[in-house]
Amino acid sequence: MRDSVNGNLAQLRQIAVIGSETMAIRTDSDIVQARHLVRRWSNQIQLSLIDQTKLVTASSELARNAMIYGIRDGFTTGSGLGLGLGGAKRLVDEFYIDSKVGEGTRVTVYKWKQ
């Protein structure tokens, strides 16, 4: 999945970016699209089936969260980002959430290939 880490971290872990896409998630078919993207990429790097399923499901949770919690005016307001993220967290190896007032919230997840 596309990462948002700074250059130093990328260097330490040799992250190879195979794809990057920015989508607006406004309708539930956008969620499906997001799932397809993640499915395609995780297939490309040959994640195991179980890991693929977990990652795609986590993406679905995150995408739905984004849809519900505030892309109305482009920003997330308050601490509405509670539901669904707990589950997604358990499905991935690393989970980072970064909220800036007035700028929105960025959630970054990692699933490492075994």
Partner 1 sequence: MDRIPILKLGNFLLVTIQVDMYDQLAITLQDDLTSKIVQAGAKGVLIDISSLEVVDSFMGRMLANISEMTRVLDANTVVVGMRPAVAITLVELGLSLPGVQTALSVDKGMALLNAMREERPSEGLRERKPGAA
Partner 2 sequence: MARPDSSYLLELLNRSSDEILRDWTANQFRNPRLRPELLRESELRDQSSTFLESLRTAISNIEQRQGDLTNILLQEWNETKQLLETISRSRSQKGFTPSETAGFIFSLKQHLFSRIRAELRESPDQLYQEISQANAILDMLALFTTEVFQRSREQIIARQQEEMLELSTPVVKLWDRILALPMIGTLDSARTQVVMESLLQKIVETGSEVAIIDITGVPTVDTLVAQHLLKTVAAARLMGADCIISGIRPQIAQTMVHLAVDLSNVTTKATLADAFLIALERLGHVPEVGRREEPTPGKKLETASLFGTPAARKIA
Minimum CB distance to partner 2, residue 79 (Å): 29
Minimum CB distance to partner 1, residue 97 (Å): 18
Q: Which two tokens stand for residue 46?
A: 């040959």
Give the whole-angstrom CA distance, residue 58 versus residue 15: 20
Give the whole-angstrom CA distance, residue 5 versus residue 34: 20
Minimum CB distance to partner 1, residue 74 (Å): 22
Closer residue to partner 2 in complex, CB, 9/68: 9
Question: Which of the residues 4 through 63 are near partner 2 (CB under 8 A)?
Answer: 10-11, 14, 16-18, 50
Site string for partner 1, 73-112 (x = CB under 8 A): -----------x-xxx-xx---------------------
**The amino acid at 83:** L
Minimum CB distance to partner 2, residue 16 (Å): 5
Give the whole-angstrom CA distance, residue 9 versus residue 112: 15
For residues 71 and 37, is the Cβ–Cβ distance under 8 A?
no
Distances (CA, A) of 111 to 29, 76, 84, 100: 24, 25, 18, 24
Q: Which two tokens stand for residue 35?
A: 């799932």
Binding site for partner 1 (CB under 8 A): 28-29, 31-32, 35-36, 39, 49-50, 52-54, 56-57, 60-61, 64, 84, 86-88, 90-91
